[in-house]
Structure 1
Amino acid sequence: MAQKETGAEGVTALAEADAPVFETLVQMTLDTFERSGLDDETYLLARIAALVAMDASAPSYLLNIGTAAEAGVPLEKIQGTLVAIAPVVGSARVVSAARAIGEAFGLDISTEDQ
């Protein structure tokens, strides 16, 4: 069974793969970080906020939140980011993001009574 890579390990695995699309995405990400002038935490929180606004898929959250965790970004800051952007992007996007994040990390966040 293949080991699941997350965060920076996932980026490294993608960069080492023979996959030009993924190689391009990894290089774009590295270039963007360097050019942003932001510290690691601010950069990663901005990316997570953008993912929510775009209604991103679970793998996008897995990669970015995994990288944030490896960089030492506290979970409370990620949660705070979701709270801060809710009035702008809307509650539906934040709920969708929470579901995708739960799916990405294998969390059971069902709302049905058991």
Structure 2
Amino acid sequence: MADEEDLVSDTLAQITAASLERSTLEPRELMLARIAALVAVDAPPASYLLNAGTAMDVGITLEDVQGILVAVAPIVGTPRIVAAAGNLGRALGFAIELEAEAEAEAEG
């Protein structure tokens, strides 16, 4: 199962990299658009998590994400914004948990 998860994760990372390479947008602008799209399609926490590393790498901040939520709220509506905020929070919690597990393994 781990090999299948790695295959999917690696494939998604390659798709993200190709999108960054081929887009005419600057990487930061591209990731802002991707986050807005995730909100619009009511993406699950895992989708936010898969984009979080790249978003941080190009300088996306929590304030940027909040700005995106405010900007798209009139288009996608309150239910999508509330769902996105919850999904972002769950993704962040999961990321923190993974980091803590990795640190514990490194120490042990």
Range class of TM-score, shorter chain:
0.7 to 0.9
TM superposition score normalised by structure 2: 0.72
Map of 2:58 onto structure 1: 71
User: 2:9 and 2:93 mapped to 1: Cα distance?
Assistant: 24
For the pair 1:59 / 2:46, whether they are aligned, the reply is yes
5+ residue gaps in structure 1? 1-16, 108-114
Task: State which drifts further: 29-38 or 96-105.
Answer: 29-38
User: 1:106 and 1:23 mapped to 2: Cα distance?
Assistant: 22
Distance 1:41 1:101, change over 3 A: same
Map of 2:70 onto structure 1: 83
For the pair 1:44 / 2:34, whether they are aligned, the reply is no
5+ residue gaps in structure 2? 95-108
RMSD between superposed Cα atoms in Å: 2.0
Shift of 1:75: 1.6
User: 2:62 and 2:71 mapped to 1: Cα distance?
Assistant: 14
Task: Name the count of aligned residue pairs.
Answer: 91
Distance 1:26 1:106, change over 3 A: closer
3-state SS in 2 of match to 1:48: helix
User: 1:23 and 1:83 mapped to 2: Cα distance?
Assistant: 32
Identity %: 52
Distance 1:21 1:64, change over 3 A: closer
Q: Which has the larger helix fraction? A: 2
| Per-residue CA distance 1:57-101 (angstroms, 9 max, x = gap) | 111112223321232222211110110001111111010000001
- Contact 1:48 / 1:65 at 8 angstroms: preserved in 2? no
